[in-house]
């Protein structure tokens, strides 16, 4: 399907079925959305985008949903062993930045499964340059709302070389930092691609000497590309882009989810102990080792409940931008009252309107999940779900949620993320106890939300007290 070129107009954010969305439109142009209610702009330049997209946006979004309902209009812009080595032998706890460690862990998992490549040997206390760059990508992107809003309109201006030169000349610290991060990621992606291509051009024996023995995603993709017809074959630059895409899509999302669940478990010792008991019992039944087979791991009921509740209440990605490629009529889950007092059950969406599904709000809608929708309660998944959840037919690929989206734009790696989360919890909880440090942790809005110590710090971090239960 052809997607029309984006025109320089403001976005409309609207709800799809039970998904809370917001909307912006082009000033000075009549629209069917002019009659849609919503909060007044707080700035003539940035409208409501600063509040909706800012780091500390959660209260604003919740208030907007309570006051204007499920649809409203907004105004827009013109490794286990490595951790053991760092704990005191006496059994006392040590404070570790689990966000950093989980980022390094998920990056290594992606590297081995996706590219047959290792990024980290975990011998250093600090992550490498590439891991640091990837971890900084989304927080750095969030520092300039103006750049993020204008970027889709600027990417088609001139040649790539021209755009590169323009970026180099922009005298803004945040822009140059973003350029450096992008350069680090691109250079490593090129290195990985060239190594895989060289190994593939040798023989099968060369691939067997690599991590994964040539069964990683990139090796499979390269083989398929060699066999494709000329018109279907992907050029090298697109294949290189897949490396960066897989890393960005899979590292922070899962790492931040693991860090979040460790924080929750540190604050809910009862849940941590119950989950640990289930894991240790399963290991004992399998002979007392340290690992479980895939089927056994996926059958653990409380682990499954904890993971589902994590993805429901704390999705790493809370909003995404989509664009209507044609005029359409959007059916609503319930009628809404327009500014002129009329009630409508479907909303006209003009071509070019930008839609922003607010997945997080859908997952905690009390009309669906009940009065305890905003509470973290894994036991809800061990009980029959509310009838409203079953009847809503939420168009997500996972457990009546929008966490991983749905349709042909759904998260391709959502199954991989579930298994990854369970494997990491299996490894960590059998050996370590996690407790809070007492430091305030703030979760900041970004394409992938991230934690900091307090709201002022700009450095992603999540310190926890970690103690060794058994070597």
pLDDT for 281: 96
DSSP 19: B
pLDDT for 21: 32
CA angle 306, 70, 334 (to 5 degrees): 110
Q: Are 41 and 95 found together in one domain?
A: no
Q: Which residues are annotated as a binding site?
A: 411
pLDDT for 201: 77
Q: Total domain count for the chain?
A: 2
Looking up residue 200, the CATH number of its domain turns out to be: 1.10.630.10
Q: Are 429 and 304 found together in one domain?
A: yes
Which two three-digit tokens encode residue 356?
């922003």
Task: Give per-residue burial for 222-251: e unless 16+ CB within 10 Å, then b.
Answer: beebeeeeeeeeeeeeebbebbbebbbbbb
Q: Are 123 and 238 found together in one domain?
A: yes
Q: Which residues are annotated as a binding site for heme?
A: 411
pLDDT for 211: 56
Q: What is the DSSP string of 156-220?
A: TSS-HHHHHHHHHH---HHHHHHHHHHHHHHHHHHHHHHHHHHHHHH-HHHHHTSGGGG-SHHHH
pLDDT for 56: 66
Q: Are 169 and 276 found together in one domain?
A: yes
Global pTM reads 0.77
Q: How far apart are the C-alpha atoms of 367 and 389, rounded to whole Å?
A: 9
Q: Are 118 and 43 found together in one domain?
A: no
Q: Are 69 and 114 found together in one domain?
A: no
Range of the domain at 155: 82-315+406-468
pLDDT along the chain (471 residues), means of 10: 31 25 38 69 54 66 74 56 65 86 89 83 80 86 68 75 83 87 92 86 65 73 85 88 86 92 97 97 87 89 97 88 87 86 89 82 90 95 93 86 84 88 93 95 88 90 90 56
């Amino acid at each position: 399907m052809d997607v029309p070129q984006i025109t320089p107009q403001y976005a409309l954010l609207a709800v799809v079925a039970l998904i809370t969305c917001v909307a912006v439109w082009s000033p000075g142009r009549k629209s069917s959305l002019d009659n849609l209610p919503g909060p007044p702009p707080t700035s003539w330049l940035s409208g409501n985008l600063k509040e909706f997209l800012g780091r500390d946006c959660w209260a604003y979004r919740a208030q907007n949903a309570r006051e204007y309902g499920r649809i409203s209009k907004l105004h827009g812009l013109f490794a286990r062993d490595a951790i053991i080595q760092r704990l005191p032998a006496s059994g006392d706890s040590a404070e570790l930045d689990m966000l950093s460690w989980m980022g390094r862990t998920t990056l290594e998992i992606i590297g081995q499964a996706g590219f047959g490549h290792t990024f980290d040997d975990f011998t250093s206390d600090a992550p490498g340059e590439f891991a640091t760059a990837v971890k900084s990508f989304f927080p750095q992107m969030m520092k300039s709302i103006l750049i993020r809003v204008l970027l889709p309109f600027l990417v088609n201006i001139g040649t790539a070389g021209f755009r590169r030169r323009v970026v180099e000349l922009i005298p803004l610290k945040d822009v140059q930092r973003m350029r450096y991060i992008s350069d680090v990621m691109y250079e490593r992606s090129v290195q990985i691609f060239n190594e895989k291509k060289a190994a593939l051009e040798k023989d099968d024996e060369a691939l067997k000497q690599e991590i994964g023995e040539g069964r990683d995603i990139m090796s499979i993709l390269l083989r398929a590309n060699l066999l494709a017809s000329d018109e279907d074959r992907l050029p090298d630059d697109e294949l290189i882009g897949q490396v960066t895409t897989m890393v960005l899509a899979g590292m922070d999302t899962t790492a931040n989810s693991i860090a979040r669940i460790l924080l929750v478990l540190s604050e809910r010792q009862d849940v941590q102990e119950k989950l640990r008991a289930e894991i240790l019992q399963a290991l004992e039944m399998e002979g007392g080792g340290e690992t479980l087979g895939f089927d056994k791991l996926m059958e653990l009921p409380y682990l499954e409940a904890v993971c589902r509740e994590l993805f429901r209440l704390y999705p790493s990605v809370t909003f995404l931008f989509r664009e209507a490629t044609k005029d359409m009529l959007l059916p609503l889950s319930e009628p809404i009252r327009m500014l002129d007092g009329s009630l409508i059950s479907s909303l006209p969406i003009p071509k070019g309107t930008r839609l922003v599904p607010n997945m997080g709000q859908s997952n905690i809608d009390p009309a669906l999940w009940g009065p305890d929708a905003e509470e973290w309660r894994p036991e809800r998944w061990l009980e029959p779900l509310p009838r409203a959840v079953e009847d809503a037919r939420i168009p997500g690929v996972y457990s009546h949620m929008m966490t991983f989206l749905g349709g042909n734009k759904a998260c391709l790696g959502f199954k991989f993320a579930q298994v990854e989360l369970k494997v990491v919890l299996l490894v960590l909880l059998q050996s370590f106890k996690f407790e809070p440090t007492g430091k305030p942790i703030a979760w900041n809005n970004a394409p992938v939300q991230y934690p900091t110590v307090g709201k002022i710090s700009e450095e992603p971090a999540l310190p926890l007290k970690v103690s060794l239960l058994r070597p």
